[in-house]
A and B are shown apart, each in its own frame.
Chain A
């Protein structure tokens, strides 16, 4: 494989699309032959980012849209999950383990912590009323030998 391979997906901010987003990303990444653990890490991180966009970005307004862009370059997958919703006032606070802005909803406050731990690189860019963009990168180890 030479150059990069890309995909872009835009879908309604509906909770049933959380499962769709996980399946779509894992199908795209399957060409790198990831291990089950790597695939589970990616699915979990995508699920967290998409769930945040729906609940926090859009307050469950299903008329809005979430976008996922993914690209594969050699053995590395990059994923960007973005919304054009509420944005996050204090990103540093939101990244604290167990912090949640919606305690009444039984949120665990672990979403960002999970994304950080399950991916190799993770960053959040957000502006109040300007939306949130989560960028994550993971190297798929199982193909490493091919590129050494």
Chain B
């Protein structure tokens, strides 16, 4: 498989690190792993940490939007950090930045969430 997903829990935040390529083929594993982790009561917010995400297409946008709705229904926030220029263009084109804020790195992303929690 050309995508690895790493999940880390930090207080009430789920940090999701994606490595590799997120497309239609690899979107399902991201969906199921995140869906499962988000069912836990202690998780409110999600940080998508995308430093090592080499490629993403609209299938990735779909799975991110799906998890955004899931987080929002729990009253939480989703933020992204460390995105490369290609992924950034997709976010801009699809208007995702209007609902998901972007940060330089995980530390800044965490502090942005601690302010709101």
Contacts and interface: CB of A to CB of B under 8 A. Distances in A.
Given A18-B24, A54-B24, A107 B59 contact: yes
A90 interface: no
B21 A108 contact: no
Nearest to A22: B55
B55 to A, nearest CB: 7
Contacts of B55: 22, 40, 43-44, 47
Interface in B69-99: 85-86, 90, 93-94
Given A37-B85, A106-B66, A18 B23 contact: yes
B58 A106 contact: no
Interface residues of A, number: 26
Contacts of B100: none
Contacts of A54: 24
A117 B85 CA distance: 15
A23 B24 CA distance: 15
Contacts, number: 68
Contacts of B93: 110, 113-114, 117
Contacts of B63: 106
What is the size category of the interface that chain B forms with chain A?
20 to 34
A19 interface: yes
Contacts of A109: 58
Interface in A1-42: 15-16, 18-19, 22, 37, 40
A16 B26 CA distance: 8
B90 A44 contact: yes
A108 B91 CA distance: 11
B interface: dominant SS: helix
Interface string A87-129: 0000000000110000001111111011001000000000000
Nearest to A47: B57
B31 interface: yes
Given A37-B86, A40-B55, A117-B93, A107 B23 contact: no
Contact of A40 (B62, B65, B86): B86
A117 B93 CA distance: 9
A106 B24 contact: no
Interface of A: 15-16, 18-19, 22, 37, 40, 43-44, 47-48, 51, 54-55, 97-98, 105-111, 113-114, 117
Interface of B: 2, 21, 23-25, 27, 31, 55, 57-59, 61-63, 65-66, 85-86, 90, 93-94
